Amino acid sequence: MLKKILLVLVVLIAAFAGYVAMQPDDLHIQRQATIAAPPAAVFDNVNDLKKWDAWSPWAKMDPNAKVGFEGPAAGKDAVFTWSGNDQIGEGKMTVVDSRPNELVDLKVDFTKPFENTSSSTFEFKPEANQTVVTWSMGGKQNFIEKAMCIVFNGKKMIGDEMDKGLAKLKTVAESGAAPAPSP
């Protein structure tokens, strides 16, 4: 009887491992929000990494995290470093491309709890008197990361945090935006 249980367990583990191995190496998550503010107001809150504390969902997970800034105050080559609790880990985020009121592209290097590099891109599109913000995250996943993503529903967890961040970005940008002109 014990041999049968072990055999079933081995088959289940092998099936799960096969399923994990068949998952794509590339992870891509995208969320979108419409913000009642001009692109410049929204862009400024993303392009200036010092302003992330006001809206980033991860900043609230560890208010005692050690943070630092390097390079220019905002835009290309601006750098944000952090070291925090188990929820946010440790790493470095660098603006690799910045086009005013259009795009902010970031390289995110995690060092703890695991090493990984990903990208995070914000696109800003004017629509009437509003701005449509598209936030995309992506990167390569190894076998363990794919398994963890399946077990803990990582895409949903990250997507939920992105939704929270966009909602807070909306609040911050709209509260600081000049009233939109009437059509």
**Which own/partner contact pairs does 152-157 have at CB distance under 8 Å and 24+ positions apart?**
154/27, 155/27, 155/29
Asked whether residue 183 carries a pLDDT value surpassing 50, the answer given is: no
Determine the pLDDT at residue 44: 95
Q: For every residue of 79-99, which 3-state class applies, written as one string?
A: EEEEECCCCCCEEEEEEEEEE
Radius of gyration for the chain, computed over Cα atoms and rounded to the nearest angstrom: 20
Cβ atoms of residues 92 and 109 within 8 Å: yes
Please name the fold of domain 26-176: Alpha-D-Glucose-1,6-Bisphosphate; Chain A, domain 4 (3.30.530)
What whole-number distance in Å separates Cα of residue 112 and Cα of residue 173?
A: 31
Structure tokens at 100: 């005013």
| Amino acid at position 106, single letter | L
pLDDT in tens, 7-56: 888 877 777 777 667 777 777 889 999 999 999 999 999 999 999 999 99
Beta bridge partners of 83: 66, 90
pLDDT in tens, 113-123: 878 888 999 99
Determine the pLDDT at residue 170: 96
Q: In what order do the strands lie in the sheet with 90-99?
A: 26-35, 130-140, 116-127, 103-112, 90-99, 79-83, 66-70
Q: Which residues contact 134 (CB under 8 A, 6 or more apart)?
A: 30, 31, 32, 121, 122, 123, 125
Q: Which residues contact 34 (CB under 8 A, 6 or more apart)?
A: 127, 130, 131, 132, 133
What whole-number distance in Å separates Cα of residue 166 and Cα of residue 109?
A: 21
Cα–Cα distances in angstroms (integers) from residue 167 to residues 22, 47, 81, in the given order: 34, 17, 24
